[in-house]
Amino acid sequence: MTRVIGNGRKETRGTQILSSLTLMLLLVIALLPSAYCQSNDRAGIYSTPEPQNLGILQDSIRSYIKSASYERGLAEVADSAKSFIESRYTKVKKPAIVLDIDETSLSNIEFEYRYGFGFNSKLWNAWVKEEAATAIKPTLGLAQWAASHHIAIFFITERSQISRNLVADPTVVNLEKAGYPDWKRIYFKNSRTISTSAFKTSARKEIESEGYTIVANIGDQYSDLVGDFAEGKFKLPDPMYYIP
């Protein structure tokens, strides 16, 4: 249907529908609560595109960690890893799993909160020496299950070995305090000249050269997981930092 309106333009059925929609939209906007009014207050303020504000981002990360979402994500990945290991470990020679340490086996949320997600190596080493990191529970459960099924556990970590005496090293003591069962070996990176993924891949290669089959490799960074020498690769959530 077409009709002529005041200024001589023809109004079609389509424009009538559009007018009705515009009216409805205006009504909805008028009824919106204060959230809309707040952003409406910013109308007329000149600005340029900018990335997400750091303070707002930190609040959303804290909310995510505080909510059940982070814990749920960790449990979901650990459960998937366990199902995969269960389907494979009786079929391979010398089954093994590889675990990263930070935000995979041990949680450093207390350190992250203490320094507002900032990092420097002096503060980090002091934190490691506190031996206060708590277990990531789904990973601890997986490690305990693996140990009870005679699956070898290897840790490969970005951390450095601090104490010459391995059994007194704060990372080793912290893992024991957190309840981790007997493991075969820990590989510390100890070097800034090799990339994380190259270091971790070469450690896995060495493990497999000893006859082990790494059924699952579990970490919170993609750099823990890229590369060969693992049948299954499992990435835990980590909203706090990124290691290339």
Chain residues binding Mg ion by CB under 5 A are: 100, 102-104, 220
Pick between residue 89 and residue 156 the one whose CB is nearest to Mg ion: 156
Rounded to a whole number of angstroms, the minimum distance from the CB of residue 173 to Mg ion is 19
Pick between residue 196 and residue 213 the one whose CB is nearest to Mg ion: 196
Pick between residue 82 and residue 159 the one whose CB is nearest to Mg ion: 159
CA distances to 41, 113, 219 from 152, in Å: 61, 34, 17
Pairwise CA distance, residues 85 & 96, whole Å: 9
Pairwise CA distance, residues 225 & 216, whole Å: 10
Rounded to a whole number of angstroms, the minimum distance from the CB of residue 221 to Mg ion is 5
Residue 188: helix, strand or coil by DSSP?
strand
Instruction: State phi, psi for 88 to the nearest 5 degrees.
Output: -120, -30
Token pair in block for residue 4: 């002529």
Residue number of the CB atom closest to Mg ion: 102
Pick between residue 18 and residue 194 the one whose CB is nearest to Mg ion: 194
Token pair in block for residue 178: 């957190």
Rounded to a whole number of angstroms, the minimum distance from the CB of residue 220 to Mg ion is 4
Rounded to a whole number of angstroms, the minimum distance from the CB of residue 97 to Mg ion is 15
